[in-house]
Amino acid sequence: MALPGTIKNPQNLCNSLKPICKHLLFARNISNIPSDESTVANDLISIFTKQPFSPENPELQSLAGMLNTGVVETALKGFRSWKAAHKFFIWASNQWAFRHNVYTYNAMASVLSRARQNAPLRALTAEVVNSRCSMSPGALGFLVRCLGSVGMVDEANALFDEVRKKGLCVHNDYSYNCLLEAVSRSGRVDLVEMRLKEMRDQGWEYDKYTLTPVLKVYCNAGRFDKALDAFNEIFDRGWADAHVLSVLVLSFCKWGEVDKAFELVETMEDRDVRLNEKTFCVLIHGFVKESRVDKALQLFHKMQQSGFVPDVSLYDVLIGGLCMNKEHEKALCLYSEMKNLKVKPDIGVISKLISSFSEGGEGELTRLLEEIYDDIGVEDKVLVYNSFLNSLVNTGSIGKACQLLSAMMGIGLDEDVEINKFFRDKEMVAPNANSFTTVINGLLKANKLDLALSLFVEMAQFGCKQELQLYNNIIDGLCNSNRLEESYKLLRQMEESGFEPTQFSHNCIFGCLCRKKDVSGAIDMIKKMRVYGHEPWIKHSTLLVKELCKNGKTLEACKFLADMVQEGFRPDIIAYSACLDGLVKNGEIDAAFKLFQDISALGFCPDVLAHNIMIKGLCKAQRIAEARHLFNEMETKGLVPSVITYNLLIDGFCKNGQIDEAMLYLSSMFGKEKEPNVITYTTLINGLCNAGRPDDAILLWDKMVEKKCDPSRVAFMAFIHGLCKCGRPNSALVHFHEMEKRKMEPDSFVYVALVSAFLADLNFVSAYEILKEMVDKEKLPDPHDKNYTIVRVAVSKLSENAQTSSSITSLIRQGSLPTILYSDNRDDITSFRIKLESFHTPGLADAGCAAVALLYFLRQSFFGTVRRPVRILCQEICSGGSKVELKMGRQQLE
DNA sequence: TTAGGGTTAG
């Protein structure tokens, strides 16, 4: 069917196959096409491209008679759109006097594969086989490569066998090579190995183009050793070239073996095999991405030595890498080199340098600018200023950023600001929207909301457009400062400017309303959000629920959640859990239980955490049997109780006087490999002590230590307190010292427990020592604390004991026991005098002590009510002969 | 250039 002069099987020309490349070649040279064929083809293209297309077009009908495979092949190559080409191809198929040959099929296949149209390509392949058109190995190879290039490996493989089976093609080494090339892309090692064996069995020799796909398939499949074997074979046979080297080097990089890749490049270089330009570029990018700028630079120099001239994008990536590594000077050197080589730096390179040098402070940045400023085109100058503003903002110099921006706006420069010296001789550049945005965002971050707002207004006056994101950021700033009205106003302004609020804008305001506990406002906002299809963020709803519950408004919290459901937003289990917890904390266990059941009705399955809250509530309400029931139910629901679940239940049993039951749950934890934590042990140790079983508590403490569970401060305090309660102050003291050794500070009640326990044991000296330590460490309880009375009694006892009374007196003299001394609010002088005497201050003769006592007395909040008695006291002190203290007393008094 | 929110011991 081919016309005279048409090359019958052009693909054969490729049989020596230059590297099988992605670009599929057509061997039909345009100059070989007879001019009348070319005219017909062009006319056809024009008709099929014009809209509307009509098959009835009389011109088309006359051209139909002139169809031949040459015309069709030429026309197919001339279409710009694959769709039009395909339409023409189908039309041609339907012309009674025309029949496609392998070259028209291949022309269509090429168009479809380039357009990545797999479905019509698959149909075309089937048609080729069905039409029984014969083909040379080269033509088959071409079609196979079309299929391979779009990943249709199975189709290529099947086609290969079918054409052989139907006798349409006799394979040769070239057709095998094409098939291997197609399969190698897929990483299907088995298939490649099978075809390779088949090829050898049929007596075909391997060549470079056989082994290169083999190398590729091993690389793609990550088969490191096999890939190396293939490469070595290629190398030994003297076939290694830039392409083969690139395949392996790029794979090394993909596997993260950057150093190996580099070694390979060096070894091959010694043997005169060098990378091609593209591979150099890919590798340099890859090395920088892997933070191996050193290797990237070495490659870069090799690339230059190989005679390639790097373009601006390579300088950009290298300078970027150096900047990232904080190698500012090297980056600047590369920049100079680039300029010397007449490669024009672009704003990307310049921005990288600026942001890198800005980390070194303003001095460094100025030094850089002096070097590069003249290289920057007028239109890019504002970008430099913006980079500068950005760096000032990022380094916290927001004030300087504002000054520079003012200068840009023509408001003037501050003489004292060092950074501005550079800009002083320069012609100022007017700011753009980005300049304002940078500074406003910086001001917002620095909590200078009012400045940000005024700049936002000025920005518009300056003719710069306020973008949506900036509106959002300012609304966010206002909401974070609880300036709700202004944020509403800005939201309206934003809408008037033609911006539709985003989910973020609405949620800023919703969050603010929730923080303010404004339930109706929050619901109104939810309604508005529903109109826009925005989802209220659950963190805000949860916060509102928590805040309401904290203030005892559990009913409102429940209603809020119900209203949300009403508005079509179903809160999640977390918001409900917060509400459950609020109810439980408020003692509303029945309401909590009802909500717990309602949650399930809403389609949630309460999780472990929600169960924990309920178990806590039930235990708190002493409904321990129900708590245990809920615990058992968890397992039937497929929930695995957490350590916290166990801890809560164990605590419930302890508090309910069922310590043995609690211990059973501890055993069950070990059985279920649920490791108890320090809270489990602390709860039980506390429970055992409360049950009067200090020896068991000690055993459990030892077990905890043995299990490498580190006791916490709370654990120590509970244990010491418990031992004291059980009358074991000496054991308690050992742990008290251990606690101090670990730099853990005990709370006041621990000291009190020890003092009381030692006193009960009649060990006055030890009791005094602990009391003294409590005083020295300022751990005396607050007068409103119930322990306060205990200390008072203790002091009283110690002051009456011969071993400790003088030490107590001296503590009083030092003024270390202030509030103890004046522990009641009686304002009569008699009561005061009695107190003094009770601490072995003989009458008022020891005026020094009395005066000190007086000063502390004055510090008490009931000063106003004791003015008269104090005045009398002062006189008495005076008659006792202590004038200094008296003066002080008077100063305080008057 | 837009998460993290709910539960345990003295």
CA-to-CA dists, residue A340 to A313, A333, A345, A350, A830, angstroms: 16, 11, 11, 16, 99
Which of A163, A161, A172, A148 has the alpha carbon at shortest distance from A20?
A: A148
Q: CA distances (Å), A797 to each of A48, A346, A458, A758, in order?
A: 114, 87, 75, 12
- Give domain limits for chain A: 1-186, 240-303, 311-373, 377-466, 822-894
DSSP state of A782: P
The Cα–Cα gap between A890 and A455 comes to 58
Confidence (pLDDT) at A77: 92
Q: Which two tokens stand for residue A77?
A: 């190559």
Tokens of A180: 């291997």
Closest CA to A467 of A433, A430, A440: A433
The dihedral of CA A557, A563, A569, A573: what is its sign?
Answer: positive
Residue nearest to nucleotide B10 (CA to C1'): A718
Rounded, the Å distance between the CA of A386 and C1' of B3 is 30
Structure tokens at A398: 């927001």
Alpha helices for A52-99 (secondary structure H): 58-64, 69-78, 82-93
CATH code of the domain occupying A240-303: 1.25.40
Note whether A1-186 and A240-303 share their fold: yes
CATH for A1-186 is 1.25.40.10
CA distance A463 to A458: 9
Q: Please, what sign has the CA dihedral across residues A779, A785, A790, A793?
A: positive
- Given a cut of 70, the residues of chain A with pLDDT beneath it are 1-35, 412-421, 818-894
The reply to whether the CB atom of residue A546 sits less than 7 A from any atom in nucleic acid chain B is yes
Which bases along strand B come within 7 Å of a protein CB atom?
1-10
Instruction: Determine the nucleotide nearest to A711 by Cα–C1' distance.
Output: B9
Angstrom distance (rounded) from CA A607 to CA A572: 11
Q: Is the CB of A679 under 7 A from strand B?
A: yes
Rg of chain A on CA atoms, in Å = 44
Alpha-carbon separation of residue A572 from A237, A428, A561, A564 (angstroms) = 68, 55, 10, 11
Residue corresponding to tokens 């479905």: A119
A101 touches strand B (CB under 7 A): no
The whole-number pLDDT of residue A16 equals 33
Shortest-distance nucleotide from A468 CA to C1':
B1
Q: What is the pLDDT of residue A35?
A: 65
Residues 630-659 of A with CB under 7 A from strand B: 642-645, 647-648, 651
- How far apart are the C-alpha atoms of A863 and A860, rounded to whole Å? 6
Interatomic CA–C1' length for residue A494 and nucleotide B3, angstroms? 25
Burial zone of A44 (CB within 10 Å; 0-12 exposed, 13-18 middle, 19+ buried) = buried
Q: Nearest residue to B5, CA vs C1'?
A: A539
* Nearest nt (C1') from A470 Cα: B1
How many Å apart are A567 CA and B4 C1'?
23
Q: Do the Cβ atoms of A468 and A504 come closer than 8 Å?
A: no
- Strand B within 7 A of A764 CB: no
| pLDDT score recorded for residue A260 | 83
Q: Which two tokens stand for residue A281?
A: 């570029």
Confirm whether any atom of chain B, the nucleic acid strand, is less than 7 Å from CB of A437: yes
Work out the number of other CB atoms within 10 angstroms of the CB of residue A833: 17
* Inter-axis angle of helices A208-220 and A189-201, nearest 10: 160
Using the CB atom, is residue A465 less than 7 Å from strand B? no
What pLDDT sits at residue A692? 95
Which residue in the block uniquely carries the two structure tokens 């917002």? A444
Residue A493, classed as helix, strand or coil, is helix
- The dihedral over CA atoms of A287, A293, A294, A298, expressed in degrees to the nearest 10, equals 60
Q: What's the Å distance between residue A608 CA and nucleotide B5 C1'?
A: 16
**pLDDT score, position A853:** 52
Q: Are A20 and A210 in contact (CB under 8 A)?
A: no
Strand, coil or helix: A65: coil
CA neighbor of A610 nearest in space, from A490, A633, A219: A633
Which two tokens mark A665?
A: 């749950």
